Amino acid sequence: MLFRALFFLFCLTAGGLVGWWVKQQLQLSNGPWIGVTAGGVVWFVLDAVGAMRVLAYLRVNGNSESHGLLGVWKEVFERSRRLLRDRDRLLTESQRRLQDFLSAFQVSPNGVVLLDSQARIEWCNQTATHHFGIMAQRDLAQIIGNLVRDPGFIAYLASRDYQRSVTMPGRESSPSRPVVLSVQLHPYGDGRTLLLSRDITALEQADAMRRDFVANVSHEIRTPLTVLAGFVETLQTLELDDDERQHYLRLMAHQSTRMQTLVNDLLTLSRLEGSPAPDLSCWTPLSQLMAQIWQDALSLSRLITAEQGEMHQLVFDDKVDAELAGDVSELLSAMGNLVSNAIRYTPAGRVITVSTSKTPENGLMFSVMDTGPGIAPEHVGRLTERFYRVDRSRSRDTGGTGLGLAIVKHVTQRHSATLTIESKLGKGSVFRVDFPQERVRFKN
């Protein structure tokens, strides 16, 4: 401001001097005053030019230079440019941070929807569009309640009580493949709300499986316990001869064996799920595994067909000379379960073929082919579920627990193998396990 005042005085003084000189030359009595006025006008014009240049700079957001500016207007120009540059830098940084936040929300596995005070959509991520079937661009400013028409969600939105979450079906939910979402609203800011959605289908399925598992275990154990309790009561209250007593004792032993088998299978499943997968350090000859399976198959076939007079025709084609890497007990459990299932469900006298062969990928295929009644296509995909049975009454008659194929599935997965099931009603079934190359070592 001092420079501006001094420059103003300089212009007035210079104008006065020029006017005095003009007075001397032209004999004008008011020459000095004219000079002073002219000096003031010159100062005003120069000052106005500086002000206009500063305004022009502010209009174009700093895309000009300060050439020709002096004094206070040059300082105003420089300070304004510095302030604008700082503002632009802060704005750019804020936009970058906003984009970082939105990018983070975009890759979130949860659905995120920003709603204004009227429940209109301000922004949503891709997961939310998948959950609710909305589109980020098309549905902006649309009321969420007009797009998501689930009655439970509508009631939740209208209640204004967002302390809890609400569950609802997802957009792609169907009877065959249900999708369950957990949705909760979180108020923030000036009446705005943050809507978060989470796909809990797997959790719901796991909870349903847990309930079914507990119910199935309870049912499987209750049945033999009821039978045992009945036999004990019979032995305690009735006078029986030795033959009758021995008959009841054999039945009691059968039921206790059935419970013991069930408990052992449950413990096996628990161990498989809670331990690390077998490594490649332990190699077992395939011939050793097949020999054990052969002995177990003969014993089981004799037991099941004891009253029928004719055993199964067991054919073992184990010409492959190889070693398998993995846990011996698990491999015996998986292969043995496949063979025992074939024996249990194949009528006496019919053929059961157990074979091994080298695959084109230099892996090993272990297969069990029976000539039993076969399995309908709608049951094949569920055979490895725990306690799933095609014919419950027949499974109990043959001593099955409903856990054998579940154990097989876990063992094959832990050994990087694949289980394939093929079956035709009236013609039999084929259960095949393919071991990968890294778990097989051929000797020839």
Number of domains in the chain: 4
Predicted confidence (pLDDT) at residue 98 exceeds the cutoff of 70:
yes
Q: Given 156, 181, 199, which residue is the final one in a domain? A: 199
Listed in sequence order, the residues at least 6 apart from 408 whose beta carbon sits closer than 8 Å to its beta carbon are 333, 334, 337, 338, 384, 419, 431, 433
Of the two residues 175 and 337, the one the predictor is more confident about is 337
Alpha-carbon distance 134 to 197, whole Å? 13
Of the two residues 394 and 353, the one the predictor is more confident about is 353
Print the domain residue range for 163. 107-199
3-state secondary structure of 190: coil
Q: What is the pLDDT confidence band of residue 435, given thresholds at 50, 70 and 90?
A: very high
pLDDT at res. 222: 81
CATH assignment at residue 212: 1.10.287.130
| 436 and 316 in a common domain | yes
Residue 170 backbone dihedrals phi, psi, to 5 degrees: -75, 175
| 311 and 258 in a common domain | no
pLDDT at res. 354: 94
Q: What's the predicted TM-score (pTM) here?
A: 0.56
Q: Given 275, 308, 329, which residue is the final one in a domain? A: 275
The Cα angle at residue 289 between residues 288 and 291, in degrees rounded to 5 = 65
| 92 and 112 in a common domain | no
CATH assignment at residue 165: 3.30.450.20
| 324 and 414 in a common domain | yes
| 175 and 33 in a common domain | no
On whether the CB atoms of residues 2 and 9 are closer than 8 A, the answer is no
| 292 and 421 in a common domain | yes
User: How does pLDDT run across 409-424, given as a tens digit for each residue?
Assistant: 999 999 999 999 999 8
- Cross-strand partners of 316: 354
Q: Which two tokens stand for residue 188?
A: 């923030």
Q: Given 131, 165, 199, which residue is the final one in a domain? A: 199
3-state secondary structure of 23: helix
Closest CA to 160 of 119, 121, 190: 119
Alpha-carbon distance 290 to 54, whole Å? 95
Q: What is the pLDDT confidence band of residue 363, given thresholds at 50, 70 and 90?
A: very high
